[in-house]
Amino acid sequence: MRAYERLINYTKYETGSVSDNSNCPSSMEQLTFAKALAEEMKSVGIQNISVDKNGYVIGTIEANIDDWKGAVIGFLAHMDVVRDVPFTNIKTKIIEKYDGTDILLNDDKNIFLSLKDNDSLKSYIGSDLLVTDGTSLLGADDKAGIAEILTMAEKLYQHPEIKHGTIKIGFTPDEEIGRGADLFDVKLFGADYAYTVDGETFEEVEYETFNAASANVTISGVNIHPGTAKGKMKNALCIAMEFNAMLPKNERPENTDHYEGFYHLDQMDGIVEKTNLHYLLRDHDLNKLEEKKTTVKEIASNLNEKYGENTVRVEIKDSYYNMAEQIKPHWHLIETAYEAIKELGGNPISNPVRGGTDGSRLSFMGLPCPNLGTGSHNHHGKTEYACIQAMDQCVELLIKIAEKYSKNALT
Ligand SMILES: [Zn+2]
């Protein structure tokens, strides 16, 4: 079976994760999907399969080299999809030999996947694309990753002449709500290193994420009848606006790119008496993130000088860290992936992730875990699509990496 055929099957599982459900998995459909995957793993030949009550699925492809000793490599993908884009009743369609024009996804609703808005399409002219009818996501994020990992496994069992060491496979729930790593048992999984298969183009290898913190700013005001307020009122709403205006405007998400960090006001509520501002602080460089925290605190103390002590209170919490520092000591993970991509005719690229990944959490839990591509694009959108041949290339990439690790000693 080819990877895209698996992906089409998986679109039937409506696995949207639910951020306000604190259970794991956050939706029962994920557990149903987990059990179906375990069955499929069994039919492929994968051993030691387990599904725990939280929906984590793991399995092993045993080494096919006598007395093999080396680094055990793992491949991971997540089972959930985002819920804030329609994710049910997915209707897939194959565009054969894409000709470089705009793709009509939905005739009735006049929805297009246009070349001018989607640079990624350019590299797929002549290839076959898997799309939706433009009313839902495809769920290639990350079911394409699952499909590719299981297709890799199937190929390895069908071709025992491909020599490999022990390979671990893991499928996780609730990645889209940031909880995929929470209950992942790194020890039980038993890999020395792993890759998540959760990116876009087949040529990408991601190993840098943001360092992240949040700042909760509480402003206490003094309310009084506005008619007699002169010299007495302290309007928390106005002070909040003043606070926000003192942050650098060019360091907002909408004005930053690549390695530029930001201050992101993502929530505010208030009345004259009390106003709360909530910010996300992000930077790939940990020192620069610290500078951002200092800036926030300095603005607060300036306003406190102006309006009185404890008018503005700031609470800062770290959320996650850049995984690069965990990956760099194991640089062979990146080099091996680069070599494999080159051997398959690609030009490896590494762009900094402007967010966090489950892999970055896992890297700090002792499982260094960069991210590979899936051959799919426009994740979290109704124009999400996968390139069928790029998915095949991703399968080949996983096989090549497994082959290379059969020879790599533990470092
Ligand atoms: Zn994903």
Q: Is 142 a catalytic residue?
A: no
For residue 14, how far is its CA from the centre of ligand 1 (angstroms)?
15
What pLDDT score was predicted for residue 408? Answer: 64
What pLDDT score was predicted for residue 223? Answer: 96
Reported as a single tens digit per residue, the pLDDT across 189-209 is 999 999 999 999 999 999 999
Q: What pTM was estimated for this model as a whole?
A: 0.89
Dihedral pair phi/psi, residue 373, rounded to 5°:
-80, 170
For residue 246, how far is its CA from the centre of ligand 1 (angstroms)?
35
- β-strand pairing of 193-197 with 371-372: parallel
Confidence of residue 280 (pLDDT cuts 50, 70, 90): very high
Instruction: Taking the CA atoms of 303, 305, 308 and 309 in sequence, report the sign of the dihedral they define.
Output: positive
Sheet (strand 312-320) strand order: 262-270, 274-283, 211-220, 312-320
SS3 category, 16: strand
Question: d(Cα 283, Cα 108) in Å, to the nearest integer?
Answer: 44
Reported as a single tens digit per residue, the pLDDT across 138-185 is 999 999 999 999 999 999 999 999 999 999 999 999 999 989 999 999
Reported as a single tens digit per residue, the pLDDT across 15-72 is 999 999 999 999 999 999 999 999 999 999 999 999 999 999 999 999 999 999 999 9
Reported as a single tens digit per residue, the pLDDT across 90-112 is 999 999 999 999 999 999 999 99
For residue 234, how far is its CA from the centre of ligand 1 (angstroms)?
46
- Tell which residue, 257, 280, 276, 260, has the closest CA to residue 268: 276
For residue 287, how far is its CA from the centre of ligand 1 (angstroms)?
28
Confidence of residue 411 (pLDDT cuts 50, 70, 90): low
Question: d(Cα 194, Cα 297) in Å, to the nearest integer?
Answer: 39
- β-strand pairing of 193-197 with 73-78: parallel
For residue 298, how far is its CA from the centre of ligand 1 (angstroms)?
37
Q: Which CATH class is domain 211-320?
A: alpha beta
Candidates 14, 29, 40, 80; catalytic one: 80
Location of each CATH 3.30.70.360 domain in the chain: 211-320
Q: Is 175 a catalytic residue?
A: yes
What pLDDT score was predicted for residue 356? Answer: 82
Among 289-298, 316-325, 338-347, where is mean pLDDT lowest? 316-325
For residue 374, how far is its CA from the centre of ligand 1 (angstroms)?
10
- Other CB atoms within a 10 A radius of the CB of residue 32 amount to 16
Q: Output the average pLDDT for the chain.
A: 96
Candidates 141, 154, 174, 175; catalytic one: 175
Q: Alpha carbon of 39 to those of 36, 128, 149, 307: distances in Å?
A: 5, 29, 15, 65
Asked if residue 24 lies in contact with residue 55, where contact means CB atoms within 8 angstroms, the answer is yes
Token pair 């290898």 in the structure block, residue = 205
Task: Classify domain 3-208+323-405 at the CATH superfamily level.
Answer: Zn peptidases (3.40.630.10)
For residue 201, how far is its CA from the centre of ligand 1 (angstroms)?
13
Question: d(Cα 262, Cα 212) in Å, to the nearest integer?
Answer: 10
Both tokens of residue 408? 């790599």
Q: What percent of the chain has pLDDT over 70?
A: 99
Asked if residue 324 lies in contact with residue 259, where contact means CB atoms within 8 angstroms, the answer is no
- β-strand pairing of 103-106 with 371-372: unpaired
- β-strand pairing of 111-113 with 92-95: unpaired
What pLDDT score was predicted for residue 355? Answer: 86
Reported as a single tens digit per residue, the pLDDT across 240-263 is 999 999 999 999 999 999 999 999
Our CA angle for 4, 147, 179, nearest 5°, is 130
For residue 175, how far is its CA from the centre of ligand 1 (angstroms)?
7
Location of each CATH 3.40.630.10 domain in the chain: 3-208+323-405
For residue 208, how far is its CA from the centre of ligand 1 (angstroms)?
16
Q: Which long-range contacts (CB under 8 A, 24 or more apart) does 315-319 make?
A: 315/215, 315/216, 315/218, 316/213, 316/214, 316/215, 316/216, 316/281, 317/213, 317/214, 317/216, 318/211, 318/212, 318/213, 319/212, 319/213, 319/214, 319/356
Checking if the pLDDT of 409 tops 80, the result is no
